[in-house]
Amino acid sequence: MPNGTGGNAAALVVTPSSSGPNASSEMTALWLGNGDARIHTGLGESTWYRLRLRFPAGKYFPTTGQWNWLTEWHDDGHTTSYNSSAFSIAMGVYTDYPVVYGAVGLNPVLTLRVMGGNTMSPATTTLSAGPLAYDQWYEFLVHIVWSPSQGSVEWYRDGLLVASAPSFPTLYQNPDGTVDHPAFGLYNYRLHDPVHTSEVDFDLAAAGPTRASVGG
């Protein structure tokens, strides 16, 4: 991704007519797929992800509830074929309930959902990096150790560790003995909103085996 806050950012824009996985959502995405996007997510790997992004005031409109995703480490198709509720690890924005289509979510909070373990009975925990501020460039580091049993997650915002899951599964173990191999993607992925066009700006995205390798 481009690096520089002077106009080189990539805007991911989603509209009421954008396509999505189903009729109840819309999505715009980059780095989505099962090719190079799966590098560094293998069993036993320790990976750092660096992201710089912002939510422009008057352009970013989160939907109500818990479906405003910014990045996902998307489970592979073999894993989801066993259990469609074995959701992916994902960073996003949670807002207040109830879910109301076309309404803008209130009290947005930056959130990282961590899931893994037994595919048929997923373990999950939710980490928070605090309330969302508009028109601010955020610098995030996410450090993930990939394992269905001995994984871990550290989440940094603007250089400070804000949340962690020090001993938590980060991959799924499938009933046939195989292990999930996620694909990393950048998203503007929301519930269906028939009213608003919404934009998220990404200025940098990097993944590597050490913190130094991503410039963090």
Q: Let me know: does 30 contact 185? Beta carbons within 8 Å.
A: yes
Q: Give bridge partners of residue 173 from the DSSP assignment.
A: 118, 179
pLDDT below 70 — which residues of the chain? Answer: 1-8, 31-36
List of residues 6+ apart from 71 with CB closer than 8 A: 49, 51, 90, 91, 92, 142, 184, 185, 186, 187
CATH of the domain at 147: 2.60.120.200
Task: For residue 97, give its domain range.
Answer: 10-214
Residue 62 maps to a domain? yes
Angle at 71 between CA 68 and CA 77, to 5 degrees: 100
Q: Let me know: does 189 contact 27? Beta carbons within 8 Å.
A: yes
The pLDDT, as a whole number, for residue 209 is 94
Residue 192 maps to a domain? yes
Residue 3 maps to a domain? no
* Structural domain count, the chain: 1
pLDDT per residue as tens digits for the range 138-192: 999 999 999 999 999 999 999 999 999 999 999 999 999 999 999 999 999 999 9
Phi and psi at residue 165, in whole multiples of 5°? -130, 90
Residue 5 maps to a domain? no
The pLDDT, as a whole number, for residue 60 is 98
